[in-house]
Amino acid sequence: MDTIFALATVPGRSAIAVMRLSGPATGTVLAHLAGALPPPRRASRRTLRDTSAEPLDDALVLWLPGPASYTGEDSAELHLHGGTAVVEGVGAALVALGARPAEAGEFTRRAVLNGRMDLTAAEGVIDLIEAETAAQARQALRLAGGGLASLVQGWAERLTALLARQEALIEFEEEDLPGSLDAAIESGVTELAEQIAIRLVTDNGAERIRDGLDIAILGAPNAGKSSLLNALVGREAAIVSARAGTTRDIVESRLILAGLPAVLADTAGLREAGDEIEAEGVRRALHRGEAADIVLAVLVCEASPDPATLALMARRPCVVVANKADLGGPVPDGAIPVSAVTGQGLGLLRARLQAEAALLAPSTGAALLSRPRHRAALRDTLAQLGEAQAALLPELRADALREALRALGRLTGRVGAEDILDRIFAEFCIGK
């Protein structure tokens, strides 16, 4: 196994730069660089020197012998002055001493391979790094702290016990085993399948917390959709013009709702298109509306509701906005009257969006299935438990239980992890 190094702080000029090392030769490399190994787990001031004994920096050094380290290997941290020349000089010295630059996510990958954490905890680490809001950070901390792994471990232990009992029935078929054992296995499989099925249905907010919400603004041309987007995000994100059809493609901007990131999308006006470019814009607008978590259907107070927007409202739930309320005119039933120009009603609209966001992604401690692969693994587990329930022979039930255990193990990486490691750790930054 190579000894690796990488910056754990943002590249570029800074007061402090932290260089991390991990691997079997870390102690040797550190001793050459710092003159001698410092006491374990104690910050020590050392003059770092290259292979020619030229001084590189006056730094704080931490020696972290394995296995009690982040990666489970011998590790070290170099707290350097953050100048470019210092960082590059130390990096060159590390290469000269036999270390190599780490790949993206390689430190955390080694932690998984060395049993310091499971795959779900590793995903929690990257989610924590990328968290934009407090809700995302809280969820990532639960995941990184083993919240999902603990739940899955409990299921795995129960499934292992059921499989052991089933194997005992097969192995000792001619022995006088209790007749209730087979019924207990059936009952245990049914109970476990029900609990996993309930979790799949009820734990539906974690992915939205992680990925954020998609909000689409749809309506007729000149309904004020672009002005509404600009007013909600507080900047000129979309071009505003009295000319119909100004917005041909989707214009996106980000905002925070109920502690969740959201993408607000301004779309082309819904009408009979005058050319193929506008027709494509309308098609994209409708597609975005069908896929969005929340749709703002924009009407105009002074005008009759347009048929295209009414048709959209009939197909799916919408937050209906009656724009241009400052010009007067009737407000359709159930619509929120606003003026993107004067700001009238924007507070009420924001409150409604906050409420809708909170309903879609409740910030609860129970939400942990934050990625599609989590759900896929549990669905595969549930399918195999169903096979076990339907099995007519003990051997077929045992095979199904083994496959269920294997599917559950893929979630934490305890079984069959190699095929998904590359995909997961490619998301990491260098140095983590």
Closest CA relative to residue 210, chosen from 11, 5, 427: 427
How far is it, in rounded angstroms, from Cα 72 to Cα 80? 24
| Residue set of the binding site for (6S)-5-formyl-5,6,7,8-tetrahydrofolate | 20, 77, 116, 432
Closest listed residue to residue 322, CA positions, set 352, 293, 289, 291? 352
Annotated binding-site positions for GTP: 222-227, 241-247, 266-269, 323-326
The binding site for Mg(2+) consists of 226, 247
CA atoms within 13 A on the CB side of 336: 22
Annotated binding site: 20, 77, 116, 222-227, 241-247, 266-269, 323-326, 432
